[in-house]
Amino acid sequence: MIINIQKLEEGVSSYDIDETAEKLGIDIEDTKFLSKVKCTLDVDNKIERFTVRGKVKTVLETVCARCGKVFKRNIDADFDHKYVKGSFQEDGQIFKEGLDEELLAGAELDLFDDVRQAVLLAASEIAVCSEKCKGICPGCGKNLNKAKCTCEGEDSKPFANLKKLLKEKKKK
């Protein structure tokens, strides 16, 4: 969805996006989209800068970072992208203020880019199937949600080693 910034009225213009991930050009490894990507966007247009504020929602099927199980994950994220309208100074340099702002040199802004970035960012956060997921034992490889660890000895207990390390650190 491309909007022309020069033709945009001053103030806030709202847009609704309801598209498939495919249409938005989103492709994430080990992740399947179970619903469309819904997004409400407010473009706040000021004279020299504008802000795209959005709320993006979708449902993914992805892999638990702890136990590897495929699970359903709801994405519900807010984002805020700031832009400054580009202008060239007399010496040919592009004028740009704040570091958190992107420069938009042309007149067009693709709102799909903003939505795509927001979904990729939200989906890149580490996700677990449940807060209580115990994960896989690095010693014996068992899924600890389903089976008890059969490891023996201190060395194969990662937390015991960690505690030991922490104690040693404190001594120093």
The footprint of Zn ion (CB under 5 A) covers: 64, 66-67, 69, 129, 133, 137, 139-140, 149, 151
Q: Name 166's Cβ contacts closer than 8 Å, sequence gap at least 6.
A: none
| Backbone dihedral region for residue 58 (phi beyond 0: left; psi -120 to 50: alpha; all else: beta) | beta
Do 58 and 28 form a contact (C-beta atoms < 8 A)? no
8 or 140: CB nearest Zn ion: 140
86 or 135: CB nearest Zn ion: 135
Radius of gyration of the chain (CA): 23
63 or 107: CB nearest Zn ion: 63
Do 64 and 143 form a contact (C-beta atoms < 8 A)? no
Least separation in angstroms between residue 65's CB and Zn ion is: 8
Q: Which of 119, 120, 117, 115 is nearest to 41 (CA)?
A: 115
28 or 151: CB nearest Zn ion: 151
Q: Which of 49, 93, 46, 56 is nearest to 78 (CA)?
A: 56
Least separation in angstroms between residue 60's CB and Zn ion is: 15
77 or 151: CB nearest Zn ion: 151
Least separation in angstroms between residue 169's CB and Zn ion is: 25
Least separation in angstroms between residue 63's CB and Zn ion is: 9
Instruction: Collect contacts of 148-151 with beta carbons under 8 A, ≥24 apart.
Output: none
Least separation in angstroms between residue 11's CB and Zn ion is: 46
